[in-house]
């Protein structure tokens, strides 16, 4: 579908959208109690939604993967057909021109990020979130992935590949990212055997892949939603990497206390981060996830034309770079204490 066609969408109950949200890869259309997600016909370095066949496949994939932890939220996949000059979701007549994922509409404002801003999150909420995530990870089947350390290196190098963007915004940030990322590439090489042992112990699983505060709703029970469906390599990861993303995100809201509670209670339900080596790796993953978010903000900054929004995006980017610096400093310090005979250098 094209954006201008959304005005002629008809839902299965014959109603029309009350509102629409556009993301970089999707449109989400809302009725009173339902949400319908349509994939935009876009192609990036990590996904391809340009063909109808691909969009159908990834709609079905999204439904299947998210039903692992939100089966009562993700309901069905419907064809969208053109009929009587309208685009009708679930209609049986007419030519199929796209597909939509039907979801139960969740209450607005109940996302964890919004509640954190309102200071309406209790420690007990974080404990409940830790338990839900641990249960999901524990029930997931372990995976064996060839060349896992090389895949982690490639993902880390992706931050380095984008560092030239930071030159346009802040030269000091570019220099820091270049130096710290090269150090972390050495760190991964040093931990190559340890990463392999983690995988052999069953800690690499088919996870959520995008588990941050905006993808968690706090209702009677925390609800996870909107996992990555378009890339197995971004989703099939060590459970520690998944937890590090949410931990870093909590830090970005100034809730390091909640970040600590998250890790503590996750380990109660699914002991996965226990040794000094595991804490070092967890710290690296927090650095990496902050780097991913900084990169996303930098790309948005380049594309944004509105001056005020540009300022806000840069402020968000600097928040993540500040976290990267804190994690990197602690990583260097803790590595030298844990492995006093080893030597890693921040290459200049």
265 and 282: one domain? Answer: yes
In a domain, 345, yes or no: no
**Token couple for 180:** 């710290």
Considering the domain architecture, whether residues 122 and 179 belong to the same structural domain is answered as: yes
Burial of 249 (0-12, 13-18, 19+ CB in 10 A): buried
Weakly modelled stretches of the chain, pLDDT under 70 = 167, 347-348
Confidence at residue 347, expressed as pLDDT on a 0 to 100 scale: 56
- Residue 76 φ/ψ, nearest 5 degrees: -170, 170
Residue 142's pLDDT is 95
To the question of pTM greater than 0.85 for the whole model, the response is: yes
Assess whether 147 and 32 both reside in one domain. Answer: no
Our count of domains for the chain comes to: 2
For the stretch 303-311, contacts whose Cβ atoms lie closer than 8 Å and that sit 24 or more positions apart, written own/partner, are none
Residue 180 belongs to domain with CATH number: 3.90.1200
From 104, 132, 147, the end of a domain falls on 104
Domain span including residue 47: 3-104
Angle, to 10 degrees, between the axis of helix 239-252 and the axis of helix 307-338?
Answer: 120
Q: Are residues 71 and 11 in the same domain?
A: yes
Tell me which DSSP letter residue 186 carries: H
Same domain, 256 and 179: yes
Q: Are residues 97 and 123 in the same domain?
A: no
Does residue 343 sit within a domain?
no
Asked whether residue 96 falls in the same domain as residue 188, the answer is no
The pLDDT, as a whole number, for residue 171 is 77
Q: Which of 72, 104, 136 represents a domain boundary (last residue)?
A: 104
| Boundary (domain end) residue, out of 57, 79, 104 | 104
Q: Are residues 120 and 209 in the same domain?
A: yes
- pLDDT number for residue 232: 93
């Amino acid at each position: 579908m094209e954006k201008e066609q959304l005005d002629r969408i008809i839902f299965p109950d014959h109603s029309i959208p009350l509102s629409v949200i556009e993301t970089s890869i999707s449109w989400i259309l809302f009725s009173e109690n339902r949400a319908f997600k349509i994939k935009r016909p876009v192609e990036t370095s990590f996904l391809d939604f340009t063909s109808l066949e691909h969009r159908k496949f990834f709609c079905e994939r999204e439904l299947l993967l998210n039903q692992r932890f939100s089966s009562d939220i993700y309901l069905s996949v419907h064809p969208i057909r053109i009929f009587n000059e309208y685009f009708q979701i679930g209609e049986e007549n007419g030519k199929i021109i796209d597909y939509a994922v039907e979801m139960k509409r969740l209450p607005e404002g109940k996302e964890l990020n919004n509640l954190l801003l309102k200071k309406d999150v209790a420690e007990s909420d974080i404990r409940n979130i830790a338990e839900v995530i641990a249960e999901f990870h524990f029930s997931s089947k372990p995976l064996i992935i060839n060349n896992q350390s090389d895949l982690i290196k490639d993902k880390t190098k992706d931050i380095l590949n984008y560092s030239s963007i930071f030159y346009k915004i802040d030269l000091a940030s570019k220099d820091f990212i270049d130096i710290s990322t090269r150090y972390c590439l050495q760190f991964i090489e040093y931990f190559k055997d340890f990463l392999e042992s983690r995988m052999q112990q069953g800690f690499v699983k088919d996870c959520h892949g995008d588990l941050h505060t905006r993808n968690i709703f706090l209702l009677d029970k925390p609800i996870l939603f909107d996992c990555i469906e378009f890339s197995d390599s971004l989703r099939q990861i060590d459970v520690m990497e998944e937890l590090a993303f949410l931990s870093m995100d909590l830090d970005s809201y100034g809730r390091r206390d909640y970040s600590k509670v998250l890790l503590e209670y996750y380990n109660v339900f699914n002991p996965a981060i226990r040794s000094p080596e595991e804490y070092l790796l967890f710290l690296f993953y927090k650095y990496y996830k902050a780097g991913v978010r900084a990169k996303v903000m930098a790309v948005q900054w380049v594309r944004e034309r509105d001056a005020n929004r540009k300022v806000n995006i840069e402020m968000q980017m600097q928040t993540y770079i500040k976290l990267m610096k804190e994690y990197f400093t602690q990583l260097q310090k803790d590595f030298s204490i844990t492995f006093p005979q080893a030597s890693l250098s921040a290459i200049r």
